[in-house]
Amino acid sequence: MTFKEIGLDDRILEAISYMGFDKATPIQEQAIPEILKGRDVIACAQTGTGKTAAFMLPLLHQMAVEPHDGTSTLVIVPTRELAVQIDQQIQGFAYFVPVASMAIYGGGSGSEWETQKKGLTNADVIIATPGKLISHINMGNVKFNKVRHLILDEADRMLDMGFYDDIKKIIEALPKKRQTLMFSATMPPKMRELARQNLNNPFEVSIAVSKPSENVLQAAYLVNDGNKARLINDLIKDKPSFESIIVFSSTKKSVNDIVKGLSGQGYKVEGISSDLEQQQREEVLNRFRSKQTRVIVATDVLARGIDIKDINLVVNYNVPGDGEDYVHRIGRTARADASGVALTLINEDEMYKFAAIEKLIGASINKLNIPPHIGESPEWNPMRPKGHFRQGGGGKPTLRKPGNQGKKPARKS
C-alpha cells in the first residue's frame, strides 16, 4: 500500500516523497489507518520496520488538517540519541507543514536547560527522555493541558532501564482524554500491565516479534578472547564492501580496549558509550554517518533507535546478554529491505548463551572455526555449565586442531 492510498495530507506526501518514501511498511500499513481513526494502538515490531513513521505520520496529518494550540503531542523515549533521531525525522516529515518539534534530554548545559524550558511551552511536538522531563515537571516548566497524543516509543527498553515510575508520573500530568500509542520491540508482562492501565481498547499490531530480518546473513565464529580483534581485522581488511561496521561490546569498560585492538590497520576506528558527553557522542556518530569513520565500537546504547543507514556489517564482540539484545543489535544492518551481515564471536564461556539465543529466534546459526593463521577454535559445547573454564584458571579449553579447519563447520547439537 502506498502512503497516498492511506490518505495522508498532500503536504506530508510531498515531504516524504523527497525523502524517498512511497510504499508503507507492514507496521505502517496496519497502524496508520487506526491512528487516523483516533484509536489507541499497541504495536510490537522489530527494529528497522519503520515504527517512527508509523506513529508520527498520522499525527502530523492531524496537525496539518486540524487547528491546534500549544503542545499537542508528547513522545517519550528511553535515550537522548533516539530523541534526537525522532526530532530530525519529524523535521523531514513536516517540512511543508507548520509544526515545530523539540527534543528534551539530559547531559546538556545550563543554556540548553533554558532552551528546553522555552520549547516546552512553544513546541507542537515534544520528544523527551523520562528523567529530564520529570525534572522539568518538578520545576513547573510544562504545559501539557492541551496534549492530545501520547506516544511511548521503545517502551520495553524504558521499563528495562527502570523508568516505570517516571512514566506513570508523566502520564498523571497529562489530560485523561487523549490518544495513547505504545510502540515496542517486545511485549514483556510488565509492559502489558502498563498498556492495560493506560490504553483504551487498543488496536494491536504485531510484526515479526523477536525475529531477525531475513535480509541479515548471520554467522558465528568460535574464538577465544585473545584472537577476537585479530579475527575482525582479518575479516574486513580486504573487504571494501564492508564500508560501515558496528562492533558491539557488552560493557563500556571494554570499548577502549577493543578500539585499540582494531586500530593501526589503515582505517579509522572510534568508540562510543555513555561515558562520552552528548556532544562527543553526536560528533562520533556524525563522522560514522559521513563515512569518515569505518568502524565504530559501541555498547548497547546504539542497539536501539539509532537511524544510521547502510551499515554493512555488525559484529557482536561478545554474545549479548539475551536474545532480544541480539535481535536489536543485528537489526542495525539490513534496514529498509537492504541486506547485511551479522557475525557473533563466541568464546567457550559464551556458548550456552548463544544456544539460548538460537532457541529464541528459532534458527541454528552457522558456526565457523577461525582461520589457522589466527589460532585455534574452542570446541562447540553449548551444554557446558557456566564457569567450567575461567581464563587464567587451572583448566584448559578444548581446542579444535588446525587440521580440522577445512571440515564442515561445527553446528548446534
Which tens digit of pLDDT belongs to each residue from 22-67?
888 888 999 999 999 999 999 987 656 788 899 999 999 999 998 8
Residue 6's pLDDT band, with cuts at 50, 70 and 90, is: very high
Q: Is the pTM of this model over 0.85?
A: no
Report if residue 310 sits inside a domain.
yes
Report if residue 411 sits inside a domain.
no
CA distance 341 to 312: 6
Check residue 396 and give its pLDDT. Answer: 34
Report if residue 413 sits inside a domain.
no
Higher pLDDT, 300 or 163: 163
Domain edge (last residue) among 145, 175, 207: 207
CA distance 72 to 324: 33
Q: How many CB atoms lie within 10 A of CB 241?
A: 8
If asked whether residues 263 and 321 sit together in one domain, one would say: yes
Q: Could you report the per-residue pLDDT of 110-133, keeping only the tens digit for each?
A: 778 888 888 888 899 999 999 999
Mean pLDDT over the full length of the chain? 84
Reported for 409-413, long-range contacts at CB under 8 A and 24+ positions apart, including other chains, are 409/366, 409/367, 409/368, 409/369, 410/222, 410/367, 410/369, 410/379, 410/380, 411/364, 411/366, 411/367, 411/380, 412/355, 412/358, 412/364, 412/365, 412/367, 412/380, 412/382, 413/380, 413/382, 413/383
DSSP H or E run through 184: strand 179-184
Q: Is the pLDDT of residue 408 over 50?
A: no
Pairing of strands 377-378, 399-400: antiparallel
Domain with residue 384: its CATH number is 3.40.50.300
Q: How many CB atoms lie within 10 A of CB 225?
A: 15
Give me the domain span that covers residue 62.
3-207
Q: Is the pLDDT of residue 410 over 90?
A: no
Report if residue 88 sits inside a domain.
yes
Report if residue 108 sits inside a domain.
yes
Number of domains in the chain: 2
If asked whether residues 119 and 251 sit together in one domain, one would say: no
Check residue 337 and give its pLDDT. Answer: 63
If asked whether residues 291 and 399 sit together in one domain, one would say: yes
If asked whether residues 174 and 262 sit together in one domain, one would say: no
If asked whether residues 257 and 163 sit together in one domain, one would say: no
Check residue 390 and give its pLDDT. Answer: 34
Report if residue 366 sits inside a domain.
yes
Q: Could you report the per-residue pLDDT of 324-357, keeping only the tens digit for each?
A: 678 878 877 876 667 789 999 999 989 988 998 8
Domain edge (last residue) among 165, 184, 207: 207
Report if residue 374 sits inside a domain.
yes
If asked whether residues 192 and 269 sit together in one domain, one would say: no
If asked whether residues 63 and 84 sit together in one domain, one would say: yes
If asked whether residues 254 and 172 sit together in one domain, one would say: no
Q: Is the pLDDT of residue 303 over 80?
A: no
If asked whether residues 154 and 221 sit together in one domain, one would say: no
Domain edge (last residue) among 152, 184, 207: 207
**Do residues 108 and 135 make contact, with C-beta atoms less than 8 angstroms apart?**
no
Q: How many CB atoms lie within 10 A of CB 49?
A: 22
Angle at 194 between CA 190 and CA 197, to 5 degrees: 135
If asked whether residues 147 and 257 sit together in one domain, one would say: no
Q: Could you report the per-residue pLDDT of 55-105, keeping only the tens digit for each?
A: 999 999 999 998 888 899 999 999 888 898 899 889 999 999 999 999 999
If asked whether residues 141 and 249 sit together in one domain, one would say: no
